[in-house]
Amino acid sequence: MTGDAPHLRADFDALAAIGADPAGGWSRPAYGPEECAAHEWFAARAHAIGMSVRQDAFGNSIARLPGADDLPVLVIGSHLDTVAQGGLYDGALGVLAGLEVARRIAGDATPQARPLEVIAFRDEEGRFGAFTGSRAMAGQLPEDALARMRAADGAVLGPAMAAAGFAPARADAARRDMSGIAAYLELHIEQGPVLEAAGEPLGVVTAIAGQERFSVRFTGEAGHAGTTPMTQRHDAFAAAARFADRFREMILAEGKSSARGTIGIVKLSPNQGNVIPSEVTLGLEIRDISAQLLADLAARVAVIATEAAEAMGVTAQCRRSYGAAPVPMNAGLISVIEEAARAAGFAAPRLPSGANHDAGVIGALVPAAMLFVPSVGGLSHAPEEHTDWPHIVAATDVLESVTRRLLGARDIPSC
Ligand SMILES: [Zn+2]
């Protein structure tokens, strides 16, 4: 335990100067000058505590404390990019806490047996498509996907990477043999209200929720809003509204605290006040940590869409646009974190992660675990994003004790 963790605080103060947005918050878009400056700063700080640092072909920064070469490495990771006008803690916390843990361990009289790496991934926030850095490391970015990756502001991944000094044509060079990684740890802000409401300074993630996304189109018939009797309409919006209500009830009826359903997109045609809508397209997503429940809920989307359509005399078409399986965190690592947290006097409740993280990409391939700290007001992706300093210090101390245990063990506990 190191009390107030002055080095960690100094690191936050220094990083806060990189990408501070005059309009508020922090803007470090992937492969932009601000994210690059943050990676350069990270490399310098890691060098200063005796770590070797390299950047892979996608610009992921990898800082390493040496250990026995025959032992797979323990990785602590997260990201340094932000959404536009984001907060100080999303991603940055995991990287800086990893650096702090490495700093403490580098100061030991006796070196640890297992190598330790702290990795700052690129483009976690998805300027170009989400988790670009960790997916490249995981070998999940085929060349044809790379060519399609462009930002909402029109920037194209290849030229943006080239401007930052990297070559997207060498994507394969960022691919890493995952058998060389023993385990992956990530400390992140919760970005939700659960831990704060529970009055707990830290929690342990059980699984990262999977997602199913659909586009649902209701097709009816346009008509005069004044002359068409209510009983003779084919109102696409009436069907969409009925569907929206049933969809919400379906998610709520599960009674599972981790199930989420959101209709975030509504496109209505012809979108005129005096015309009965002829077509409505809804974009929706469902999340849960259970693959089975996720599949069940997804299967029922088409059923309730058809029911709603028939009730309103229109037709419905469902198209699945995206799917990602839930990623359970490693049971053995969860136990190690719980033991360390409880030894430090924290209850460390378990909770699911509704948001995806680099741990969701790497954790699908190697044993992984995450710690969460509370987000004040549940706020994130906003300048007001905040976590109380004592919670950051407590979680970093627990991360240190977990790291020491895993670095000292020849076999990483896993289930
Ligand atoms: Zn993040």
- Residues in a beta bridge with 370: 186
Question: 338 pLDDT exceeds 50?
Answer: yes
Residue 191's pLDDT is what? 97
Question: 1 pLDDT exceeds 60?
Answer: no
Average pLDDT (393-407) is 97
Residue 382's pLDDT is what? 94
pLDDT tier, 265 (very low <50, low <70, confident <90, very high otherwise): very high
CA–centroid distance, 213 to ligand 1, in Å, is 21
Cα 321 to Cα 201, 212, 216, 285, 286, distances in angstroms: 37, 8, 10, 10, 12
Read off the DSSP letter of residue 114: S
Report the relative pairing of strands 61-65 and 52-55 from DSSP bridges.
Answer: antiparallel
Give the pLDDT confidence of 171-212 residue by residue, as tens digits.
678 899 999 999 999 999 999 999 999 999 999 999 999 999
Question: 42 pLDDT exceeds 50?
Answer: yes
Residue 153: partners with Cβ closer than 8 Å, 6 or more residues away = none
Residue 149's pLDDT is what? 87
Residue 167's pLDDT is what? 79
CA–centroid distance, 82 to ligand 1, in Å, is 8
**Alpha helix ranges (H) inside 49-122:** 92-106
Question: 414 pLDDT exceeds 70?
Answer: no
Residue 413's pLDDT is what? 66
Which token pair is 133? 């850095």
Read off the DSSP letter of residue 376: G
CA–centroid distance, 358 to ligand 1, in Å, is 8
CA–centroid distance, 184 to ligand 1, in Å, is 15
Single out the residue of 120, 8, 133, 118 nearest to residue 74, CA to CA: 118
Helix (H), strand (E) at residue 324: strand 315-324
CA–centroid distance, 56 to ligand 1, in Å, is 20
Domains of the chain and any CATH numbers: 6-208+326-408 (3.40.630.10), 210-324 (3.30.70.360)
CA–centroid distance, 98 to ligand 1, in Å, is 14
CA–centroid distance, 69 to ligand 1, in Å, is 31
Read off the DSSP letter of residue 409: -
